[in-house]
Chain A
């Protein structure tokens, strides 16, 4: 994947057997605040307009059921594959995985990046049925930035 600019704009690369969407944005907040937002499942719908609900626990090895605004009729059953506090979270299923990464970049800024790759041998058969993620990714990143920066301003 090419290096992303931290501008909150999504980039999608389509291949025959896979599709990968990524986004990066700088957030004026401590990594721990962003991590708390990313790992508190029941709180997502309050601040994240792309998520209808997440049931289950976002912990190492945890199982979650996610309902996305992008496809509200489906419930995605996902497992948490990597969980490195304040730095990396990965969840997914057999078809793909989503990776969240946090990096401190100084001056109170944290770089947040999110990447989702879906694919496999039968991917071409259903590729057209999967809606594009770009707008949803941009909204997710924007909502996260807004909420994390509001929390960061708490006195």
Chain B
């Protein structure tokens, strides 16, 4: 493969790679750095590419390893991340003026419920062990096959299946217990609350019914509801969606809170 071929392949993969790394690290800066470092590393190791996987799989392997290095010393988030970060946002007098300003001035500052669903999924997935988070994202959001994930994670098929199954079971359980969109008893109403703040003239029930996952709650089994949630994530590019600036601001806020929260719990 020539450098030019790599460059072409890399540019094709770049949007997905960047969103994948963002969803693992929850950091725009780290995502940009890791994507750049991936290209440099791939260029330097061009001779190592033997064609036993697709170029995209090879690029994702390098990026995943860099992301794992980046995250090695950091604690995983907790399942109640949205509760913790909501409390911190409310306590911060600058938080809502900042986000209202983004909404007012950015072309990517709209609040959309489906985008918040993917934001929430990103945050909750960071409570999974890293290998499980990587597996579920690669398989369900970025369409990699189990055999390709074994290459990316340098493990065997049995372990990938174990990570996938376990991560799905945990996510189903967490969302069933928390998400008021799919469970009336769910404790988290954050998307409806935020929609009320950013879109006060909207009827939330109408917005809710635009989302298939919420529409089919009564007849959809839990696995299917998770698939629909992951499908929403698949369809949204966190760097270019209608509300990307708003959601990236939320994500950056949560990352700072959770890194600080983890440090405090270690003391």
Contact = CB atoms under 8 A, between A and B. Distances in A.
Given A30-B158, A33-B158, A36-B158, A151 B170 contact: no
Query: Which of the listed residues B146, B159, B164 has the most CB atoms from chain A within 10 Å of its own CB?
Result: B159
A40 to B, nearest CB: 8
Given A154-B146, A155-B146, A43 B158 contact: no
A36 B159 contact: yes
Query: Which of the listed residues B159, B165, B170 has the most CB atoms from chain A within 10 Å of its own CB?
Result: B165
B156 interface: yes
A63 B156 CA distance: 27
Contacts of A33: 158-159, 161-162
B103 interface: no
Nearest to B161: A154
A32 interface: yes
Nearest to A47: B169
Residues of A in contact with B, size category: 10 to 19
Nearest to A150: B165
B16 interface: no
A46 B165 contact: no
Interface residues of B, number: 13
Query: Which of the listed residues B146, B159, B161 has the most CB atoms from chain A within 10 Å of its own CB?
Result: B161
Contact of B156 (A32, A37, A40, A152): A32
Interface in A1-59: 29-33, 36-37, 40, 43, 46-47
Contact of A151 (B156, B161, B173): B161
Interface in A140-155: 150-152, 154-155
B151 interface: no
Contacts of A43: 166
Given A154-B146, A155-B146, A36 B162 contact: yes
B116 to A, nearest CB: 27
Contacts of A29: 158
Contacts of B173: 46
A155 to B, nearest CB: 7
B266 to A, nearest CB: 17
A50 to B, nearest CB: 18
B252 to A, nearest CB: 29
Query: Which of the listed residues A36, A152, A154 has the most CB atoms from chain B within 10 Å of its own CB?
Result: A154
B78 to A, nearest CB: 13
A101 to B, nearest CB: 18
A46 to B, nearest CB: 6
A47 B168 CA distance: 13
Contacts of B166: 40, 43, 46, 151
Given A43-B166, A151-B165, 6 more contacts: A29-B158, A31-B158, A32-B156, A32-B159, A33-B161, A152-B161
Interface of A: 29-33, 36-37, 40, 43, 46-47, 150-152, 154-155
Q: Which 9 A-B pairs have the closest CB atoms?
A: A32-B158, A154-B161, A30-B158, A151-B165, A36-B162, A33-B158, A154-B165, A151-B161, A154-B164
23 contacts: A29-B158, A30-B158, A31-B158, A32-B158, A32-B162, A33-B158, A33-B159, A33-B161, A33-B162, A36-B158, A36-B159, A36-B162, A37-B162, A43-B166, A46-B166, A46-B169, A46-B170, A46-B173, A151-B162, A151-B166, A152-B158, A154-B161, A154-B165
